Amino acid sequence: MALQRRWEKAAALAGRRAGGLLHVGPAEWVDAAADVAASGGQLLALWGTLYPESVPAAAVRAALFVDGGLLVLELAVADPAQPYRGLHEVFPAAARMQRAVTDLTGIRSDAADQRPWLRHAAWRADEWPLAAPTAVPRVAVPAADDYPFVRVAGDGVHEVPVGPVHAGIIEPGHFRLSIVGEKVLRLEQRLGYAHKGIERRFTELPILEGHRLAARICGDSAVAFAWAYCQALEGLCGATAPPRAVWLRGVYLEIERLQNHLGDLGALGNDAGFAFGLSQFSRLKEELLRSVQQVFGQRYLLDAVVPGGVAADADDEAAGLLAARLGQLAAAVRALRAIYDDHAGVRDRFAGAGTVLPELARRLGLTGLAGRASGQPADLRIDSSWPPYHVLTPKRCLRRDGDVAARVAVRFDEVEESCRLARALLSELPGGALRAPLAAPDPGPPAVGVIEGWRGPVLVALESRERGRIHRCHAHDPSWQNWPVLEHAVIGNIVPDFPLINKSFNLAYSGHDL
Amino acid sequence: MLKALRTIAGIGIVSEPAPEPDETLRLREVLQAEILASLGRALCIRQVDAGSCNGCELEIHALNNPIYNIEGLGIRFVASPRHADLLLVTGPVSWHMAVALRRTYDATPDPKLVVAVGDCGCTGGIFGAGYATAGPVSAVIPVDVAVPGCPPSPERLLQAILTAISPAVRGAQAAER
């Protein structure tokens, strides 16, 4: 079978379990993607890289997840101005990624929608942040630009613009709701407000220090991004973190999942008019943060994962204390779950709101937590089973209803499971070093790190062409896949349910905008 | 409902006392008398994420939990700058948010206060200034109090807000730092 041959070729080329890199021609590029899609695989990320003064001058890469493994397709681009064949017809999620590639590198796809995506007014259409040798410091604030939203016409249709400054403590983004009466006909998102030039900034940092920036791509997924960065870097170096560090990374990642799920479960109760939920879950979250601070010295683990290992240890006593606290937390959340389940008003708001049925979820590539609430089983901790998860047999938390209630249920299930996983890891922490010594890697092809963060699979692709320096670091948040699905989820719902539906996905702005 | 009420009664009041203001966080002293005369300790805050990684937002959210209980101090977050006395701004300010931040500032009625939050809000942090970022909040709007940290703890945030609305302590104490 064609796919099998590609796999063998990929394995022969790369010889590594994670991230076989496969060079393809323009025809194979789309064929291979279609093969992967036909066998149930998904697009994980798509990014472009420029190679000034080299031949070819650029490359577009697509990371695909299929059969529990990662396949990276590489398409050489001789002339960035000549459009390459986009993957948007095979994977709809590719559309925005391709627009972002154009904004940052000038490499153009053949898709019909050529509107800018990450670029607003901060730089011109003929300037490419990943191509220019130096930044031009600006003194004046750029004017707001005029983005061509799709207009909905008809009797009684009007638009509700929301953002970029939102009514709560929320990241910046713009939502254009076309409504008739109370009903949403169409939602169009516009993102890019939090664009900070992260991928350009990476190229200015030493490769052994990039993990600090990786942890700040998206604050609520700091562990996932820092781990993915370090996994890619360790892949380039041919190094592995010592067992104790790997176990602790697992603990951090499950704590990060818990912190976010507790925050969301409270906020979702609040958005459904049940302030009790916000009070109780935010109290539990604060208690968890304080325990984490007590044990690891940080409330949020932004500086815990480092190249070659970890920077925050827990001695036996501290590990025992944290494990005990997690046991109490699981019990407290079970009690609150019973209260949510009993509350008719909450149930009524959650059930049937923002539904994404499994078939639509599959077609659009809905991923991670939201995907598992719509019958998409992918969970890298189980399917790919990287250490330390290979010894844990995590439980798959799956629902098929695809509504707010399902996304809440998956969070409740995952809180229970994360408490179990973190306790299991803490009870069997291996002895030994926290960190393996790491020297800057030899220049060569990129390596990829993928971690199942709390939202879904987080990817970092890292490439060095000069010892100690980063040529290209691409960071991908699962929100890229899930934002477009949110546009579908709200169709036909009433406007007041939009905040609730949006919160039930809780997608990243900074992690997406880079 | 009974279960919820029992939970509330069982847990009781968990709020902790607020920290003292910290003069070292103050950048400038303008409008103080005027603001304090009109506000007392009741304060409305409009939070603006001008490009942060969302780490600071996580800790700002914590101010609303029952332990920090910011509403118990007469301070609350509001949905519009037109209702606000103080802007709590996280950074680095992305150029794509600069216009929105400036407009939010202009829409906030005088007299108004600005607290810049986090290493990035104070200096631009790890992102610095470049083609996509203006750097610190003060590059785009005037800042009264700046609280560093990555992210700053809720206690430090509360201290910064309380510093902004307390009379400036001049002389010896300010000179000590």
Candidates B146, B61, B125, B78; CA nearest to A171 is: B61
Can you give the pLDDT at residue A138? 64
Residue B59 sits at φ, ψ, to 5 deg, of -80, -30
| Better pLDDT: B37 or A221 | A221
Both tokens of residue B137?
Answer: 């909040």
Residue A14 sits at φ, ψ, to 5 deg, of -105, -35
Indicate the residue type of A279. Answer: S
DSSP string, A258-323: HHHHHHHHHHHHHHTT-HHHHHHHHHHHHHHHHHHHHHHS-SS-TTSEETTEES----HHHHHHHH
The whole domain housing A332 covers 198-513
Q: Which residues contact A73 (CB under 8 A, 6 or more apart)?
A: A22, A24, A29, A32, A33, A61, A62, A64
Do residue B95 and residue A138 have CB atoms under 8 angstroms apart? yes
SS3 B91: coil
Can you give the pLDDT at residue B36? 62
Burial class (CB in 10 A: 0-12, 13-18, 19+), A231: buried
Dihedral angle sign, alpha carbons of residues B135, B139, B142, B146: positive
Do residue B94 and residue A144 have CB atoms under 8 angstroms apart? no
Put simply, whether B50 touches A (Cβ < 8 Å) is yes
B55 interaction partners in chain A (CB closer than 8 Å): 216, 219-220, 222, 300, 302
Check if the interface score ipTM surpasses 0.90: yes
**Residue pLDDT, tens place only, A128-150:** 999 875 555 566 677 778 899 99
The reply to whether A65 and A206 lie within a common domain is: no
**Residue pLDDT, tens place only, B104-123:** 999 999 889 999 999 999 99
Q: How many CB pairs under 8 A join A and B?
A: 177
- Using a cut of 0.90, tell me whether the model's pTM lies above it: yes
- Minimal Cα–Cα distance from A395 to chain B, Å? 28
pLDDT average, residue stretch A252-278: 97
Q: Say if strands B43-49 and B75-77 run parallel, antiparallel, or are unpaired.
A: parallel
CATH class of B19-167: alpha beta
Can you give the pLDDT at residue B114? 95
pLDDT average, residue stretch A73-84: 91
Pick the range with the lowest mean pLDDT from A362-376, B4-18, B133-147: B4-18
| Better pLDDT: B20 or A503 | A503
Residue A378 sits at φ, ψ, to 5 deg, of -55, 130
Domains of chain B by residue range? 19-167
Q: Which residues of A177-198 are buried (b: 16+ CB within 10 A; e: fewer)?
A: bbbeeeebbbbbbbbbbbbbbb
Do residue B62 and residue A289 have CB atoms under 8 angstroms apart? yes
Do residue B126 and residue A201 have CB atoms under 8 angstroms apart? yes
A213 interaction partners in chain B (CB closer than 8 Å): 126
A170 interaction partners in chain B (CB closer than 8 Å): 49, 57
Residue A12 has pLDDT above 90, yes or no: no
B133 interaction partners in chain A (CB closer than 8 Å): 196-197
Distance separating alpha carbons of residues A326 and A277, to the nearest angstrom: 19
The reply to whether A215 and A339 lie within a common domain is: yes
**Residue pLDDT, tens place only, A328-346:** 999 999 999 999 999 999 9
Do residue B150 and residue A263 have CB atoms under 8 angstroms apart? no
**Residue pLDDT, tens place only, A366-421:** 999 999 999 999 999 999 878 999 999 999 999 999 999 999 999 999 999 999 99
Both tokens of residue A45?
Answer: 């990320």
Both tokens of residue B164?
Answer: 């902004």
The reply to whether A81 and A212 lie within a common domain is: no
Distance separating alpha carbons of residues A198 and A192, to the nearest angstrom: 12
Distance separating alpha carbons of residues B51 and B118, to the nearest angstrom: 12
Where residue A5 falls among pLDDT bands split at 50, 70, 90?
low
DSSP string, A29-76: HHHHHHHHHHTT-EEEEEEEEE-TTSSS-EEEEEEEEETTEEEEEEEE
CB B102 within 8 A of CB A140: no
Q: Which of A105, A140, A162 is the last residue of a domain?
A: A105
Q: If you measure CA to CA, which chain B residue comes closest to A129? A: B131
Residue A278 in domain: yes
Q: Which of A81, A105, A129 is the last residue of a domain?
A: A105
Put simply, whether B91 touches A (Cβ < 8 Å) is no
Distance separating alpha carbons of residues B171 and B177, to the nearest angstrom: 11
CB A408 within 8 A of CB A209: no
Do residue A169 and residue B102 have CB atoms under 8 angstroms apart? no
Residue A47 in domain: yes
B52 interaction partners in chain A (CB closer than 8 Å): 171, 194, 219, 510
CATH number at residue A340: 1.10.645.10
SS3 B94: strand
Dihedral angle sign, alpha carbons of residues A101, A106, A111, A116: positive
Candidates A105, A117, A107; CA nearest to A203 is: A105
Do residue A194 and residue B59 have CB atoms under 8 angstroms apart? no
Residue A159 in domain: no
Distance separating alpha carbons of residues A226 and A220, to the nearest angstrom: 12
Can you give the pLDDT at residue B37? 62
Where residue B171 falls among pLDDT bands split at 50, 70, 90?
very low
The reply to whether A74 and A217 lie within a common domain is: no
Pick B53's closest partner by Cβ from A169, A192, A217: A217
Pick A276's closest partner by Cβ from B8, B67, B77: B8
pLDDT average, residue stretch A262-269: 97
Which of A117, A118, A165, A190 to probe by mutation at the B interface, max B CB count within 10 Å?
A165
Residue A138 in domain: no
pLDDT average, residue stretch A179-207: 95
Which of B5, B131, B137 to probe by mutation at the A interface, max A CB count within 10 Å?
B131
Can you give the pLDDT at residue A4? 55
- Directed axis angle between helix B2-11 and helix A316-342, to 10°? 150
Do residue A282 and residue B54 have CB atoms under 8 angstroms apart? no
For chain A, the average pLDDT equals 92
CATH number at residue A57: 3.30.460.80
Put simply, whether B57 touches A (Cβ < 8 Å) is yes
Pick B7's closest partner by Cβ from A218, A280, A513: A280
Do residue A219 and residue B97 have CB atoms under 8 angstroms apart? no
Do residue B131 and residue A132 have CB atoms under 8 angstroms apart? yes
Can you give the pLDDT at residue B33? 60
Q: If you measure CA to CA, which chain B residue comes closest to A287? A: B67
pLDDT more than 70, % of chain A: 95
Both tokens of residue A373?
Answer: 């609430």
Residue A13 has pLDDT above 50, yes or no: no
Residue A131 in domain: no
Put simply, whether B77 touches A (Cβ < 8 Å) is yes
Dihedral angle sign, alpha carbons of residues A335, A341, A345, A349: positive
